[in-house]
Amino acid sequence: MANVAVVGAQWGDEGKGKIVDWLSERADVVVRFQGGHNAGHTLVVGDVTYKLSLLPSGVVRSGKLSMIGNGVVVDPWALVDEIERLNGLGLAITPDSLKIADNATLILPLHVELDQAREVARGEQKIGTTGRGIGPAYEDKVGRRAVRLCDLANRDTLGRRVDSLLLHHDALRRGLGEPPIDREALIEALLAIAPKVLPYADCVWQQLDVARQIGRRVLYEGAQGIMLDVDHGTYPYVTSSNTVAGQAAAGSGTGPRSLDTVLGIAKAYTTRVGSGPFPTELEDEIGQLLGERGHEFGTVTGRRRRCGWFDAVLVRQAVKVAGIDGIAFTKLDVLDGLEELKICTGYRIDGRDLDYLPADDGQQARAEPRYESVEGWQESTRGARSWADLPAAAVKYVRRVEELIGAPVHLLSTSPERDDTILVRDPFAG
């Protein structure tokens, strides 16, 4: 049986939570490999709704081992809050069921403060971050001055790490008109949270190696989407980590040959949160309708998502960049009742026709979508669990999407409920 990496094929918010939860029933281990608690997943299980932002989606499944890899930046206070909240909903999250890479970088309060201060200083040029310190934490990781989870176990080591960190951050804060960090207060706060998070610390790469040797099926869970990748996305309106499938290996401590299948998640339309180019954005009644029907509000921030027609150019680009083998197509039911649907098949930029989105952000902002029209359907697709339950026009829409993006649909989701999923091909079958 194959190991599967799941990545978003648009700008995030594609419904990865439900798909990963659905797939986790077939997996033994679920691993988060990048991002932080800026990415939200909503899972509906029976009458209970679970909102996750840092923990892998596998935590809602009993008997599954969940892991947070070294590619994730971890806010220890947010982690503890999320664990306690989910335990209060009846889930048993313990050090036996959750392992966190001991070399994972920590998000500290000073990262949150810097993130928010920078957004204020940018004014109208703000990127639209969640303000949760993700970017500054990754900067410190690359700058080799970060505090890591393992550092909490030794006060002397922690003190040296904090001194290195403050040498950089106090200078930044002076430039932003902020007071210096209270060193002792920060160290004491970290030592106070340490007993609550250190029991989860483990050598994740080694745990994964053991899982591979005994034939366990591993599900690698990404956050955000390919078009928010720091290299391949709509830079600078991107996240601070690589979101492509290759990061699943680097961000968990395993080799690329461990990734047998890459499953991309894409909505039947397009959404985006925050600033940045969005060629197919609809600022009319249809855009508002998609947002209302799709409940397009961020799980983490509550911000309203921008909505538009399905952009086959972007998803095709994501398929190529991330090596996507198949797509999980979500929220098809949101399109029910629309007489006509449009699919973006190319762009016109400065008088030229392009079949990809160029790297230059100025050209991205000037991209005009070229559409083809597709017949809509009046019947309901919500809750459909087989192709036979779908209207002919809905099937035709899905088939046309497959042709345009160059990848087959492996899963089709027709509601937030776990079981309202049409399985075309099992990703774990390889």
* SS3 letters across 125-188: HCCCCCCCCHHHHHHHHHCCCCCEHHHHHCHHHHHHHHHHHHHHHHHHHHHCCCCCCCHHHHHH
- Residue 391 pLDDT: 96
Cβ atoms within 10 Å of 182's Cβ, excluding its own: 12
Quick: pLDDT tens for 263-292: 999 999 999 988 899 999 999 999 999 999
Q: Would you state the torsion angle of the CA atoms of residues 421, 425, 429, 430, taken in this order, to the nearest 10 degrees?
A: -120
CA–CA gap between residue 90 and residue 366 (Å, rounded): 50
- Residue 371 pLDDT: 98
**What residues are labeled active site?**
13, 41
- Residue 279 pLDDT: 97
Structure tokens at 181: 């960090």
Cβ atoms within 10 Å of 346's Cβ, excluding its own: 18
Threshold 0.85, pTM exceeds: yes
- Residue 298 pLDDT: 67
Q: Which residues of the chain have pLDDT under 50?
A: none
Buried b (16+ CB within 10 A) or exposed e, 151-168: bbeeeeebeebbebbbee
- Residue 299 pLDDT: 60
Q: At what angle do helices 155-175 and 183-197 cross, to 10 degrees?
A: 130
Question: Residues near 322 by Cβ (< 8 Å), separated by ≥ 6?
Answer: 7, 9, 226, 244, 245, 246, 262, 264
- Residue 327 pLDDT: 97
Tokens 């949150």: give the residue: 112
Taking phi over 0 as left and psi of -120 to 50 as alpha, with beta for the rest, 311 belongs to: beta
CA–CA gap between residue 339 and residue 336 (Å, rounded): 9
C-alpha dist (Å) from residue 54 to 37, 93, 153, 301:
5, 13, 22, 14
Main-chain dihedrals φ then ψ at residue 271, nearest 5 degrees: -135, 160
Cβ atoms within 10 Å of 206's Cβ, excluding its own: 10
- Residue 176 pLDDT: 83
- Cα–Cα nearest to 251, from 396, 67, 113: 67
